[in-house]
Amino acid sequence: MRIMIIEDNRVLGNEIKLYCEKWGLEVVCATKFHDLCKEVEVLQPHLILLDINLPYFDGFYWCEKIRKNSTVPILFISSRDGNQDKIMAITTGGDDYIQKPFALDYLMAKIQAMLRRTYEYQDHVQMQLSNDLQYDFSQGLLRYHHEVIELTKMENRILAILLKSRGKIVSREELMMQIWSTDEFISDGSLTTSISRLKSKIRQETGVEDIIITKKGQGYLIP
């Protein structure tokens, strides 16, 4: 998923960029504040973080302009706390509003919620696990450099369940219940084996470590 940050405070923009990249998101900071619509058209982001106070024109202006050609989710990030600003953000086409200063983990929760609402239930949804490693929910395929990594039916279900709760620990019991709900039975031992094989397969095929993190006594996590 590609995030576009439209924020003229470079320090804050870079801080948000680095944090989002830790979550496996691709992030681009806007630079052409005189022609942001063109940048949006070229970058084709999946979500935009938009400040209100910008050079040339404010965020409300750009939100309206972007909305004429795109339905991309727009999350306003601003130090302005007036109710009128929040109303303007929504009426000009924004989807949500978060006031500065904010905790980065709170911002990430907002971003993840918007991405889930917008893309998880569409026909074609891809999630970036790391550079060049993507999972396609609609086809149930894991790709590295556009090459498919062959997964068993059980490995596929485990990966999809963990990705849908990305950033949260999924207990073994919850994993097993979700798998059983699809009329597939999995024992405690076979769950351990399947996760071990899945982690090993990803590591061998891509060289990427720690896609799935084991939290002892708690469950599993994809950060």
- Integer Cα distance of 104 and 15 in angstroms: 9
The model's pLDDT over 119-144, given as tens digits with 9 standing for 90+, comes to 765 444 678 888 788 888 777 889 99
Residue spans of beta strands (DSSP E) within 21-138: 26-29, 47-50, 74-78, 96-99, 126-130, 133-136
Global pTM value: 0.56
pLDDT tens, residue by residue, 32-74:
899 899 888 888 899 999 999 999 899 999 999 998 888 889 9
Q: What is the largest CA-CA distance in the chain?
A: 61
Average pLDDT over residues 18-31: 90
The percentage of the chain sitting over the pLDDT mark of 90, rounded to a whole number, equals 42
pLDDT at residue 181, as a whole number: 63
Q: Return the structure tokens found at 133.
A: 């490693």
Reported as a single tens digit per residue, the pLDDT across 87-124 is 989 889 999 999 999 899 999 988 988 888 777 654 44
The burial class, CB within 10 Å (0-12 / 13-18 / 19+), for 71 is exposed
